[in-house]
Structure 1
Amino acid sequence: MSSDLSPIDKAKFVAAKRAAQFVTSGMKVGLGSGSTAAWLVQCLGERVRVEGLAMTGVPTSRRTAQLARDVGIPVMSLDEAKTLDLSIDGADEFNGKLNLIKGGGGSLLHEKIVATASERMIVIADASKRVETLGAFPLPLELISFGWQTTKALVEETLIGLDVLGRTASLRMNGDAPFATDEGNYILDLHLHRIGDPRQLSMIVNQIPGVVENGLFIDICDAIVVGYGDGRVEVTDINDGSIEETRFDFVERDNIFAD
């Protein structure tokens, strides 16, 4: 029952439902990873089943690929698709310029590649992800496993000269073993608390040997769809400066996760 959803889940659901409306038949769509993106895949699957929406998904993770198949969305690789009409993904943080921190789920490399291969990127989020200044959420770096401790030391040394409040770095773990991405890489989480110059930080850390990519998405997002627990949805387009607000009513038929 939709009434059983928490306010955060309701916010994610209505944001995903609104974002799914941007997809039209014939589109090749990048499908993000994480809990919010999972709602999107479910909403798109419903449109495929009920409306006959003809689309192809390009997933950013194995988990998203399996979910897409489960709900009836045809999938292909980015190499097969080459370019995408649209990508839709979640974010761990976003600011007023629609710059993002992503990678809490560990798929930042695939997500960034897919987003930059898309004509347009739309981010879906609940209002708690909005911040004045990026950095409260740990910034993920994807590292190759070889010599990761040396890479970590180089990263921490580099942070001394950058405009951040914290400089602690921790290897992300999965139980007793390092967390591994779909590419078999490690994730180093940077606890920076505040990032004064995200563009500078992104450029500099990517120059460190062993760093594959970072979770800062700068000038990539075109629009953000923010959901609220009361059913309101706010769409902000960075290109034309427009802000559109709509509302979804919660009724039983809206609950796409009902048994």
Structure 2
Amino acid sequence: MTGELSPIDKAKFVAAKRSVDYVEDGMRVGLGTGSTAAWMVRCLGEMVRNDGLRIKGVPTSTRTAELAREVGIEVISLDEAKWLDVTIDGADEFDGNLNLIKGGGGALLQEKIVATASDQMIVIADVGKEVESLGSFPLPVEVIPFGWQTTKSLVEELLISMDVLGRDTTLRMNGERPFITDEGNYIIDLHLGRIGNPHQLSMAMNQMPGVVENGLFLDICDVVILGFGDGRVETRDINEGTVEEDRLDFVETDNLFTDMND
């Protein structure tokens, strides 16, 4: 129930709740990964069950696919959809130009593919995700397992010539074993502190053999919906140049707030 939610979870919920207003009957919708995106999937499921909303969802991870099926959303692949009307996803960080760092949950590759195959990308986040410059959150870089230590060394060498504050890198672990993405790859997290030129860094890394993709989502996001713990919502549309503020009332719905273990 909403009365049991922390302020941060309330902020995530109201952002997610506002984002589903962008979804219309018959749409093909990219479904993001992470705790905030899980709220959005739950909200869409409630609209499918209670309002007869007909959509097809393209999930960005296996766990999002499982949740979408649980709540009654029809799940299809991106190959089946070919193109999407909208993708709604969370972010680990975003700046004033709506550039993002994503991949804290390890799904950055599918997330970026789905987001760029959409007419519109909407990011839902709590206010704590906004930063002046990207880089406070570790930047994930997905690499193939073969020769990953060599790839890691090459990334570290590249960082010497980049405008970043720090250059520490770590292999993401899952207990005592490397974390494995849905595509069977590893993730190297870059602890940079500040990224002075995200476009330069992204382009240079993605030209490196062994690197599959990085977590910089640049010039992809169209709208950021910010949630606050008191129910306020701020919607920033970079294409329209608008900022709108609203407040959502919490409505306690047993089906929506049970089993939220993300």
Q: For the residues of structure 1 that align with 2:118 and 2:167, how far apart are their CA atoms?
A: 33
User: What is the root-mean-square deviation in Å for CA atoms of aligned residues?
Assistant: 1.0
User: Number of aligned pairs?
Assistant: 259
Do the aligned partners of residues 198 and 254 (structure 1) sit closer, same or farther apart at CA in structure 2, a change above 3 Å counting? farther
**1:246, CA displacement in angstroms?**
1.1
Q: For the residues of structure 2 that align with 1:170 and 1:132, how far apart are their CA atoms?
A: 24
Do the aligned partners of residues 111 and 144 (structure 1) sit closer, same or farther apart at CA in structure 2, a change above 3 Å counting? same
Residue 228 in 1 paired to residue 253 in 2? Answer: no
Q: TM-score, normalised by structure 1?
A: 0.98
Residue 13 in 1 paired to residue 13 in 2? Answer: yes
Counterpart of 1:201, as a letter, is L
Q: Which residue of 1 aligns with 2:172?
A: 172
- Structure 2 residue runs of 5 or longer lacking an equivalent are none
Counterpart of 2:148, as a letter, is W
Q: Which residue of 2 aligns with 1:41?
A: 41
Matches within 5 A, 1:168-247: 168-247=168-247
Q: Which residue of 2 aligns with 1:114?
A: 114
Q: For the residues of structure 2 that align with 1:253 and 1:105, how far apart are their CA atoms?
A: 27
Query: Contact 1:141/1:213 (CA < 8 Å) preserved in 2?
Result: yes
Q: Hey, which bits of structure 1, 4+ residues long, moved more than 6 A?
A: none
SS of equivalent residue, structure 2 residue 45: helix
Deviates more, 1:131-140 or 1:243-252: 243-252
SS of equivalent residue, structure 2 residue 140: strand
Counterpart of 2:209, as a letter, is P
**1:252, CA displacement in angstroms?**
2.4
Query: Contact 1:12/1:227 (CA < 8 Å) preserved in 2?
Result: yes
**1:258, CA displacement in angstroms?**
4.0
SS of equivalent residue, structure 2 residue 22: coil
**1:251, CA displacement in angstroms?**
3.6
Counterpart of 2:224, as a letter, is I
Matches within 5 A, 1:76-115: 76-115=76-115
Q: Which residue of 1 aligns with 2:136?
A: 136
Q: Which residue of 2 aligns with 1:58?
A: 58
Counterpart of 1:209, as a letter, is P
Query: Contact 1:94/1:134 (CA < 8 Å) preserved in 2?
Result: yes
Do the aligned partners of residues 137 and 205 (structure 1) sit closer, same or farther apart at CA in structure 2, a change above 3 Å counting? same
Q: Which residue of 2 aligns with 1:257?
A: 257
- Structure 1 residue runs of 5 or longer lacking an equivalent are none
SS of equivalent residue, structure 1 residue 150: helix
Q: For the residues of structure 2 that align with 1:226 and 1:49, how far apart are their CA atoms?
A: 26
Counterpart of 1:106, as a letter, is G
SS of equivalent residue, structure 2 residue 33: coil
Q: For the residues of structure 2 that align with 1:92 and 1:121, how far apart are their CA atoms?
A: 15
SS of equivalent residue, structure 2 residue 123: strand
SS of equivalent residue, structure 2 residue 97: coil
SS of equivalent residue, structure 2 residue 256: coil
Q: TM-score, normalised by structure 2?
A: 0.97
Q: For the residues of structure 2 that align with 1:38 and 1:101, how far apart are their CA atoms?
A: 18
Do the aligned partners of residues 134 and 255 (structure 1) sit closer, same or farther apart at CA in structure 2, a change above 3 Å counting? farther
Q: Which residue of 2 aligns with 1:158?
A: 158
**1:250, CA displacement in angstroms?**
2.1
Q: For the residues of structure 1 that align with 2:230 and 2:186, how far apart are their CA atoms?
A: 38
Matches within 5 A, 1:18-29: 18-29=18-29
SS of equivalent residue, structure 1 residue 13: helix
Counterpart of 2:24, as a letter, is T
Q: Percent identity?
A: 71
